[in-house]
Amino acid sequence: MRVLILGANGFIGSHLVDGILQSTDWRVEAFDLADGNLAPFRGDPCFSFTAGDIFTDDQWLKEAVGRSDVALPLAGIAKPAYYLSRPLWTFELDFEQNLKVVRLCDGAKKRVVFPSTSEVYGMSADSVLDEETSPLIVGPVGKMRWIYSCGKQMMDRVITAYGQERGLRYTLFRPFNWIGPRLDTFRDAEERTARSITQMVHDILSGRPITLVNGGEQHRSFTYVSDGIAALLAIIGNEERSNGRIFNIGNPKNNVSIRELAHVVVDAMKAIPSFREAAERARFTILPAEQYYGNGYDDMQNRVPSIDAIRDALGWTPLVPLREAVERTVASYAV
């Protein structure tokens, strides 16, 4: 099988490349602006990389889709800070450019495995979020935090329509707060654009307090990246059982508040000699969301996935408990 991965240098993309090359005989064609996270795979006969820009390299994309068996358009913005500061860029990349790729897959009769997001559920009142029944509810138009969610939701609907009307072969997957090495960089954290764990580790090492937005009472279901990649490999390798489906990929057992997560991060850092001293001095501060993110921010209080669909169809269940997932993620910054 020939797998085309766009945005291959990113967090999910680089781990997926690793998973494919480690456990299958599939060939990977990777595409991104840079390849720093892909350096370990250079020279692998089943791996090739092309540097390029999804906004401009249309002819290359068309040819690459044509010679692939399945395409994964993973290029996208997945950081709330950017939804607020660069909402048009978020929409242009996450929706417009990915729609272009989906149309190429439709024209070439190729399969697409598309990254939706747990954010499409928005502020759904369901205590457990189900792919087929939970309503997708977002906030007011002026809250730019939701432009990412709306763009992804629209992609889900357009891809499904292509499947119904034109026979596009597709699977949608919704990651729930995947964590692990290469999640974000300390440069992101310095600019306060990193996601939770990276931001916490950086702030502790920098002597800054961990900021708990709105008190850190929001709950999330954190999923270690190796579990997520195992699910993706099952999806890619089992088209018959995953075609036309939407799958949540998360760990409902790892549902904790951001405040609780912060304490697990501090404990994990105390176990690493080079981090221990800074972790012993860790402090916390509480800020309202409007002060930390700006007026365009909005949030949901809880996000717990149902994973019945992917368990029943593909036999997948997550294996890595929260503390181990956090310890592995934190340890990756000490290397």
Mean pLDDT value across residues 120-149: 95
- 326 occurs within a structural domain: no
Q: Which domain holds residue 144?
A: 76-183+222-253+302-320
Residue 295 has pLDDT above 80, yes or no: no
Report residue 299's pLDDT band, with 50, 70 and 90 as the boundaries. confident
- 25 occurs within a structural domain: no
Q: What is the pLDDT of residues 85-104, one digit of tens each?
A: 899 999 999 999 999 999 99
CB 265 within 8 A of CB 326: yes
Residue 296 has pLDDT above 80, yes or no: no
CB 220 within 8 A of CB 176: yes
Structure tokens at 11: 């967090």
Mean pLDDT value across residues 308-315: 98
- 306 occurs within a structural domain: yes
Rounded Cα–Cα distance for residues 321 and 304 (Å): 15
Rounded Cα–Cα distance for residues 74 and 71 (Å): 9
**How many distinct structural domains can be found in the chain?**
1
- 192 occurs within a structural domain: no
Listed in sequence order, the residues at least 6 apart from 107 whose beta carbon sits closer than 8 Å to its beta carbon are none
Amino acid 254: pLDDT: 98
- 6 occurs within a structural domain: no
Letter string b/e over residues 308-331, b meaning 16 or more CB atoms within 10 A of that residue's CB: ebbeebbebebebebeebbbbbbe
- 102 occurs within a structural domain: yes
Please report, to the nearest 10 degrees, the dihedral formed by the alpha carbons of residues 41, 47, 52, 54 taken in order.
-110
What's the helix, strand, coil split of the chain in %, to 5? 50, 15, 35
Amino acid 9: pLDDT: 97
Q: Per residue, what are the HEC states of 134-175?
A: CCCECCCCCCHHHHHHHHHHHHHHHHHHHHHHHCCCEEEEEE
Amino acid 67: pLDDT: 98
Q: State the Rg of the chain over Cα.
A: 19
Mean pLDDT value across residues 154-183: 98
pTM of the model: 0.96
Q: What is the pLDDT of residues 27-71, one digit of tens each?
A: 999 999 999 999 999 999 999 999 999 999 999 999 999 999 999
Please report, to the nearest 10 degrees, the dihedral formed by the alpha carbons of residues 3, 8, 11, 16 taken in order.
20
- Provide the CATH number for the domain around residue 312: 3.40.50.720
Average pLDDT, the chain: 96
Residue 19 has pLDDT above 90, yes or no: yes
- 107 occurs within a structural domain: yes
Mean pLDDT value across residues 74-81: 87
Amino acid 116: pLDDT: 98
Give backbone dihedrals phi and psi of 14, rounded to 5 degrees, phi first.
-70, -35
Report residue 229's pLDDT band, with 50, 70 and 90 as the boundaries. very high
Listed in sequence order, the residues at least 6 apart from 67 whose beta carbon sits closer than 8 Å to its beta carbon are 2, 29
- 148 occurs within a structural domain: yes
